[in-house]
Structure 1
Amino acid sequence: MKVLVLSCLLFLSIGINRARANEHDPEVIRKQLLTALKSSKTTDSLYNALDATKHKNALITGYMATLQALKAIHAWNPFTKLKYLNASEKTYAEAVAADPHNIEIRFMRFSVEHNVPGFLGYHKNLENDRKTIIEQIKKKNYKEEDTDLIRTTVKFLIESKRCTATENEYLHKQLAALK
Protein backbone atom coordinates (compact mmCIF):
# COMPACT_ATOMS: atom_id res chain seq x y z
CA MET A 1 0.00 0.00 0.00
CA LYS A 2 2.88 2.36 0.82
CA VAL A 3 4.31 2.11 -2.70
CA LEU A 4 0.93 2.70 -4.30
CA VAL A 5 0.16 5.72 -2.12
CA LEU A 6 3.64 7.00 -2.90
CA SER A 7 2.88 6.83 -6.61
CA CYS A 8 -0.38 8.67 -6.05
CA LEU A 9 1.30 11.40 -4.08
CA LEU A 10 4.27 11.75 -6.42
CA PHE A 11 1.99 13.56 -8.82
CA LEU A 12 1.70 16.26 -6.19
CA SER A 13 5.36 17.17 -6.58
CA ILE A 14 5.34 17.57 -10.35
CA GLY A 15 6.10 21.07 -11.45
CA ILE A 16 7.36 22.27 -8.10
CA ASN A 17 10.26 24.59 -8.83
CA ARG A 18 10.51 26.24 -5.44
CA ALA A 19 8.46 26.52 -2.30
CA ARG A 20 6.95 29.89 -1.52
CA ALA A 21 6.86 31.40 1.96
CA ASN A 22 3.14 30.88 2.53
CA GLU A 23 2.79 27.74 4.66
CA HIS A 24 -0.62 26.99 3.14
CA ASP A 25 0.57 27.24 -0.42
CA PRO A 26 -0.39 24.00 -2.20
CA GLU A 27 3.11 23.71 -3.68
CA VAL A 28 4.64 23.83 -0.19
CA ILE A 29 2.14 21.32 1.16
CA ARG A 30 2.66 18.96 -1.81
CA LYS A 31 6.40 18.99 -1.20
CA GLN A 32 5.90 18.30 2.50
CA LEU A 33 3.51 15.43 1.67
CA LEU A 34 6.33 13.70 -0.19
CA THR A 35 8.49 13.92 2.91
CA ALA A 36 5.55 12.75 5.02
CA LEU A 37 5.44 9.49 3.06
CA LYS A 38 8.63 8.40 4.78
CA SER A 39 8.35 10.31 8.04
CA SER A 40 5.64 9.97 10.63
CA LYS A 41 7.09 13.04 12.34
CA THR A 42 6.56 15.13 9.20
CA THR A 43 3.09 13.63 8.77
CA ASP A 44 2.11 14.61 12.30
CA SER A 45 3.72 18.05 12.07
CA LEU A 46 2.04 18.92 8.77
CA TYR A 47 -1.30 17.55 9.95
CA ASN A 48 -1.13 19.62 13.15
CA ALA A 49 -0.17 22.76 11.20
CA LEU A 50 -3.10 22.35 8.79
CA ASP A 51 -5.47 21.41 11.60
CA ALA A 52 -4.62 24.68 13.37
CA THR A 53 -5.79 26.65 10.35
CA LYS A 54 -8.84 28.68 11.35
CA HIS A 55 -10.53 28.79 7.96
CA LYS A 56 -9.84 25.55 6.12
CA ASN A 57 -10.74 25.49 2.47
CA ALA A 58 -11.69 22.28 0.70
CA LEU A 59 -8.18 21.64 -0.62
CA ILE A 60 -6.62 21.99 2.85
CA THR A 61 -9.25 19.56 4.14
CA GLY A 62 -8.34 17.17 1.31
CA TYR A 63 -4.67 17.38 2.25
CA MET A 64 -5.61 16.62 5.85
CA ALA A 65 -7.47 13.52 4.67
CA THR A 66 -4.38 12.42 2.76
CA LEU A 67 -2.28 12.93 5.87
CA GLN A 68 -4.71 10.81 7.86
CA ALA A 69 -4.22 8.05 5.28
CA LEU A 70 -0.46 8.46 5.69
CA LYS A 71 -0.90 8.15 9.46
CA ALA A 72 -2.48 4.77 8.72
CA ILE A 73 0.62 3.74 6.79
CA HIS A 74 2.92 4.82 9.62
CA ALA A 75 0.88 3.14 12.37
CA TRP A 76 1.91 -0.37 13.40
CA ASN A 77 -1.32 -1.35 15.19
CA PRO A 78 -4.01 -2.66 12.78
CA PHE A 79 -6.79 -1.06 14.83
CA THR A 80 -5.00 2.30 14.73
CA LYS A 81 -4.57 1.92 10.97
CA LEU A 82 -8.32 1.41 10.61
CA LYS A 83 -9.03 4.38 12.88
CA TYR A 84 -6.96 6.63 10.63
CA LEU A 85 -8.52 5.23 7.47
CA ASN A 86 -12.00 5.87 8.89
CA ALA A 87 -11.00 9.43 9.78
CA SER A 88 -9.52 9.92 6.32
CA GLU A 89 -12.72 8.73 4.68
CA LYS A 90 -14.81 11.19 6.71
CA THR A 91 -12.41 14.06 6.03
CA TYR A 92 -12.40 13.34 2.29
CA ALA A 93 -16.21 13.41 2.36
CA GLU A 94 -16.08 16.90 3.93
CA ALA A 95 -13.56 18.11 1.33
CA VAL A 96 -15.60 16.78 -1.58
CA ALA A 97 -18.81 18.25 -0.16
CA ALA A 98 -17.10 21.65 0.08
CA ASP A 99 -15.71 21.53 -3.50
CA PRO A 100 -17.28 18.65 -5.44
CA HIS A 101 -15.61 19.54 -8.76
CA ASN A 102 -12.03 19.82 -7.47
CA ILE A 103 -9.95 17.38 -9.49
CA GLU A 104 -7.08 17.29 -7.00
CA ILE A 105 -9.29 16.37 -4.04
CA ARG A 106 -11.11 13.72 -6.06
CA PHE A 107 -7.81 12.35 -7.31
CA MET A 108 -6.29 12.13 -3.83
CA ARG A 109 -9.33 10.20 -2.59
CA PHE A 110 -9.40 8.00 -5.70
CA SER A 111 -5.70 7.21 -5.23
CA VAL A 112 -6.09 6.26 -1.59
CA GLU A 113 -9.21 4.15 -2.18
CA HIS A 114 -7.60 2.46 -5.18
CA ASN A 115 -4.63 1.42 -3.04
CA VAL A 116 -6.45 0.24 0.07
CA PRO A 117 -7.10 -3.52 0.06
CA GLY A 118 -10.60 -4.24 -1.22
CA PHE A 119 -11.65 -6.38 1.73
CA LEU A 120 -11.53 -3.28 3.97
CA GLY A 121 -14.49 -1.75 2.13
CA TYR A 122 -12.97 1.64 1.30
CA HIS A 123 -13.78 1.56 -2.41
CA LYS A 124 -17.24 3.09 -2.41
CA ASN A 125 -16.23 6.41 -4.04
CA LEU A 126 -13.99 5.05 -6.78
CA GLU A 127 -16.57 5.06 -9.56
CA ASN A 128 -18.01 8.46 -8.68
CA ASP A 129 -14.56 10.04 -8.30
CA ARG A 130 -13.36 8.53 -11.58
CA LYS A 131 -16.40 9.82 -13.45
CA THR A 132 -16.17 13.26 -11.84
CA ILE A 133 -12.45 13.58 -12.59
CA ILE A 134 -13.00 12.68 -16.25
CA GLU A 135 -16.01 15.00 -16.50
CA GLN A 136 -14.01 17.90 -15.03
CA ILE A 137 -11.09 17.20 -17.38
CA LYS A 138 -13.51 17.26 -20.32
CA LYS A 139 -14.80 20.62 -19.12
CA LYS A 140 -11.18 21.80 -18.71
CA ASN A 141 -12.02 22.73 -15.12
CA TYR A 142 -8.39 23.32 -14.20
CA LYS A 143 -5.81 26.05 -14.51
CA GLU A 144 -3.10 26.06 -17.16
CA GLU A 145 -0.46 25.68 -14.44
CA ASP A 146 -2.17 22.42 -13.39
CA THR A 147 -1.35 20.67 -16.65
CA ASP A 148 1.27 18.44 -14.99
CA LEU A 149 -1.26 17.50 -12.32
CA ILE A 150 -3.80 16.60 -15.02
CA ARG A 151 -1.23 14.61 -17.00
CA THR A 152 -0.31 12.60 -13.91
CA THR A 153 -3.97 12.13 -13.01
CA VAL A 154 -4.76 10.84 -16.50
CA LYS A 155 -1.81 8.42 -16.40
CA PHE A 156 -2.87 7.14 -13.00
CA LEU A 157 -6.46 6.62 -14.14
CA ILE A 158 -5.28 4.63 -17.16
CA GLU A 159 -2.87 2.55 -15.08
CA SER A 160 -5.53 1.91 -12.42
CA LYS A 161 -7.43 -0.26 -14.91
CA ARG A 162 -10.66 1.04 -13.37
CA CYS A 163 -11.87 2.93 -16.44
CA THR A 164 -14.20 1.77 -19.16
CA ALA A 165 -12.90 1.23 -22.69
CA THR A 166 -14.52 4.50 -23.79
CA GLU A 167 -12.98 6.38 -20.86
CA ASN A 168 -9.58 4.88 -21.59
CA GLU A 169 -9.82 5.92 -25.23
CA TYR A 170 -10.65 9.48 -24.18
CA LEU A 171 -7.88 9.52 -21.56
CA HIS A 172 -5.28 8.31 -24.05
CA LYS A 173 -6.30 11.13 -26.42
CA GLN A 174 -6.08 13.62 -23.55
CA LEU A 175 -2.66 12.35 -22.61
CA ALA A 176 -1.41 12.80 -26.17
CA ALA A 177 -2.85 16.32 -26.25
CA LEU A 178 -1.20 17.25 -22.96
CA LYS A 179 2.32 16.44 -24.19
Structure 2
Amino acid sequence: MQLIFSFLTAFFLFFQSDLDALRNSYEKANSSTANTQSFINIAEKQTGSDAVTSAYKAAAKIMEAKIVTKNRKALVKSGATSLETIIKNNPNNVELRVIRMSVQENIPKIVGYSKNLKEDKMFIIDNYSRQNPALKTYIRKFAAQSKTMNAAEKNSLR
Protein backbone atom coordinates (compact mmCIF):
# COMPACT_ATOMS: atom_id res chain seq x y z
CA MET A 1 0.00 0.00 0.00
CA GLN A 2 2.82 2.40 0.85
CA LEU A 3 4.47 1.56 -2.46
CA ILE A 4 1.33 2.54 -4.37
CA PHE A 5 1.00 5.76 -2.37
CA SER A 6 4.67 6.59 -2.99
CA PHE A 7 4.27 5.95 -6.71
CA LEU A 8 1.18 8.14 -6.94
CA THR A 9 2.86 10.93 -4.99
CA ALA A 10 5.95 10.79 -7.20
CA PHE A 11 3.77 10.81 -10.32
CA PHE A 12 1.81 13.82 -9.07
CA LEU A 13 4.98 15.75 -8.20
CA PHE A 14 6.52 14.93 -11.58
CA PHE A 15 3.38 16.09 -13.39
CA GLN A 16 3.14 19.19 -11.24
CA SER A 17 6.71 20.19 -12.04
CA ASP A 18 5.93 19.88 -15.77
CA LEU A 19 2.88 22.09 -15.30
CA ASP A 20 4.92 24.60 -13.31
CA ALA A 21 7.55 24.66 -16.07
CA LEU A 22 4.83 25.28 -18.66
CA ARG A 23 3.26 28.05 -16.59
CA ASN A 24 6.58 29.75 -15.89
CA SER A 25 7.64 29.60 -19.50
CA TYR A 26 4.24 30.81 -20.72
CA GLU A 27 4.39 33.83 -18.40
CA LYS A 28 7.59 34.97 -20.11
CA ALA A 29 6.80 33.86 -23.66
CA ASN A 30 5.61 37.23 -24.98
CA SER A 31 8.60 39.18 -23.71
CA SER A 32 11.03 38.10 -26.44
CA THR A 33 11.44 35.83 -29.44
CA ALA A 34 13.85 33.66 -27.46
CA ASN A 35 11.30 33.24 -24.67
CA THR A 36 8.60 32.43 -27.23
CA GLN A 37 10.82 29.76 -28.76
CA SER A 38 11.66 28.39 -25.30
CA PHE A 39 7.96 28.09 -24.44
CA ILE A 40 7.23 26.35 -27.75
CA ASN A 41 10.05 23.87 -27.09
CA ILE A 42 8.85 23.14 -23.54
CA ALA A 43 5.25 22.71 -24.73
CA GLU A 44 6.27 20.36 -27.54
CA LYS A 45 8.17 18.13 -25.10
CA GLN A 46 5.13 17.64 -22.87
CA THR A 47 3.73 14.15 -23.06
CA GLY A 48 0.59 14.74 -21.02
CA SER A 49 -2.77 14.77 -22.74
CA ASP A 50 -4.78 16.45 -20.00
CA ALA A 51 -6.79 19.54 -20.91
CA VAL A 52 -4.40 22.09 -19.39
CA THR A 53 -1.30 20.66 -21.05
CA SER A 54 -3.17 20.42 -24.35
CA ALA A 55 -4.26 24.05 -24.02
CA TYR A 56 -0.67 25.20 -23.50
CA LYS A 57 0.33 23.20 -26.58
CA ALA A 58 -2.43 24.94 -28.56
CA ALA A 59 -1.22 28.32 -27.29
CA ALA A 60 2.32 27.38 -28.35
CA LYS A 61 1.05 26.67 -31.86
CA ILE A 62 -0.59 30.10 -32.00
CA MET A 63 2.54 31.78 -30.66
CA GLU A 64 4.70 29.98 -33.19
CA ALA A 65 2.99 32.09 -35.85
CA LYS A 66 4.82 35.11 -34.39
CA ILE A 67 8.26 33.71 -35.09
CA VAL A 68 7.89 31.84 -38.38
CA THR A 69 7.52 33.28 -41.85
CA LYS A 70 5.39 30.58 -43.48
CA ASN A 71 2.05 28.99 -42.59
CA ARG A 72 1.22 31.64 -39.99
CA LYS A 73 -2.49 31.61 -40.72
CA ALA A 74 -2.64 27.81 -40.55
CA LEU A 75 -0.80 27.76 -37.21
CA VAL A 76 -3.16 30.32 -35.66
CA LYS A 77 -6.24 28.57 -37.03
CA SER A 78 -5.10 25.15 -35.87
CA GLY A 79 -4.09 26.37 -32.41
CA ALA A 80 -7.26 28.42 -31.93
CA THR A 81 -9.48 25.54 -33.06
CA SER A 82 -7.72 23.18 -30.65
CA LEU A 83 -8.00 25.66 -27.78
CA GLU A 84 -11.70 26.25 -28.45
CA THR A 85 -12.38 22.50 -28.53
CA ILE A 86 -10.52 21.96 -25.26
CA ILE A 87 -12.49 24.74 -23.56
CA LYS A 88 -15.78 23.46 -24.99
CA ASN A 89 -15.02 20.04 -23.49
CA ASN A 90 -13.87 21.54 -20.15
CA PRO A 91 -16.00 24.68 -19.71
CA ASN A 92 -15.42 24.97 -15.94
CA ASN A 93 -11.61 24.99 -16.00
CA VAL A 94 -10.35 28.44 -15.00
CA GLU A 95 -6.79 27.91 -16.22
CA LEU A 96 -8.04 27.20 -19.72
CA ARG A 97 -9.86 30.53 -19.66
CA VAL A 98 -6.69 32.30 -18.49
CA ILE A 99 -4.78 30.77 -21.39
CA ARG A 100 -7.41 31.79 -23.95
CA MET A 101 -7.74 35.27 -22.51
CA SER A 102 -3.99 35.84 -22.62
CA VAL A 103 -3.80 34.56 -26.20
CA GLN A 104 -6.68 36.80 -27.26
CA GLU A 105 -5.18 39.83 -25.52
CA ASN A 106 -1.85 39.39 -27.26
CA ILE A 107 -2.84 38.33 -30.76
CA PRO A 108 -3.12 41.13 -33.33
CA LYS A 109 -6.71 42.40 -33.54
CA ILE A 110 -6.72 41.94 -37.31
CA VAL A 111 -6.67 38.16 -36.77
CA GLY A 112 -10.16 38.40 -35.29
CA TYR A 113 -9.61 36.03 -32.38
CA SER A 114 -10.77 38.16 -29.47
CA LYS A 115 -14.48 37.47 -29.00
CA ASN A 116 -14.18 35.78 -25.58
CA LEU A 117 -12.26 38.41 -23.60
CA LYS A 118 -15.18 39.70 -21.51
CA GLU A 119 -16.66 36.23 -21.00
CA ASP A 120 -13.32 34.80 -19.85
CA LYS A 121 -12.59 37.77 -17.60
CA MET A 122 -15.90 37.37 -15.77
CA PHE A 123 -15.46 33.59 -15.52
CA ILE A 124 -11.99 34.01 -14.02
CA ILE A 125 -13.15 36.61 -11.50
CA ASP A 126 -16.26 34.61 -10.54
CA ASN A 127 -14.35 31.35 -10.01
CA TYR A 128 -11.07 32.66 -8.61
CA SER A 129 -11.89 31.92 -4.95
CA ARG A 130 -12.36 28.19 -5.67
CA GLN A 131 -8.86 27.65 -7.08
CA ASN A 132 -5.84 26.15 -5.35
CA PRO A 133 -3.15 28.52 -4.01
CA ALA A 134 -0.70 27.87 -6.88
CA LEU A 135 -3.32 28.66 -9.51
CA LYS A 136 -4.47 31.74 -7.59
CA THR A 137 -0.91 33.06 -7.66
CA TYR A 138 -0.67 32.35 -11.38
CA ILE A 139 -3.99 34.12 -12.03
CA ARG A 140 -2.91 37.17 -10.01
CA LYS A 141 0.33 37.41 -12.02
CA PHE A 142 -1.65 37.20 -15.23
CA ALA A 143 -4.18 39.78 -14.04
CA ALA A 144 -1.44 42.22 -13.06
CA GLN A 145 -0.36 42.54 -16.69
CA SER A 146 -3.77 41.99 -18.27
CA LYS A 147 -5.00 44.62 -20.73
CA THR A 148 -8.63 43.53 -20.28
CA MET A 149 -8.95 43.75 -16.50
CA ASN A 150 -9.29 47.13 -14.84
CA ALA A 151 -7.70 48.04 -11.49
CA ALA A 152 -10.80 47.15 -9.44
CA GLU A 153 -11.06 43.73 -11.11
CA LYS A 154 -7.37 43.10 -10.53
CA ASN A 155 -7.75 44.04 -6.86
CA SER A 156 -10.68 41.67 -6.45
CA LEU A 157 -8.27 38.77 -7.01
CA ARG A 158 -6.75 38.81 -3.53
Measured against the shorter chain, the TM-score band is: 0.7 to 0.9
Counterpart of 1:46? Answer: 42
Matched, 1:81 2:77: no
8 Å CA contact retained: 2:51, 2:86: yes
Task: State how many pairs are aligned.
Answer: 143
CA RMSD of aligned residues (A): 2.9
Q: Which has the higher contact order (CA 8 A, sep 6+)?
A: 1
- The 5 A counterparts of 1:31-110 are 31-33=24-26, 34=28, 38=34, 42=38, 45-50=41-46, 53=47, 56-77=49-70, 80-110=71-101
TM-score by length of 1: 0.65
| Distance change >3 Å, CA 156–CA 42, structure 1 → 2 | closer
- Give 1:25 shift: 2.4
**Runs of 5+ consecutive residues of structure 2 not aligned to the other structure:** 1-12
Matched, 1:27 2:16: no
Identical residues among aligned pairs (%): 19
| Distance change >3 Å, CA 82–CA 56, structure 1 → 2 | same
Equivalent residue of 1:56, what SS? Answer: coil
Counterpart of 2:4? Answer: none
- Give 1:110 shift: 0.8
TM-score by length of 2: 0.72
Equivalent residue of 1:25, what SS? Answer: helix
Counterpart of 2:156? Answer: 174
Matched letter for residue 73 of structure 1: K
8 Å CA contact retained: 2:25, 2:38: yes
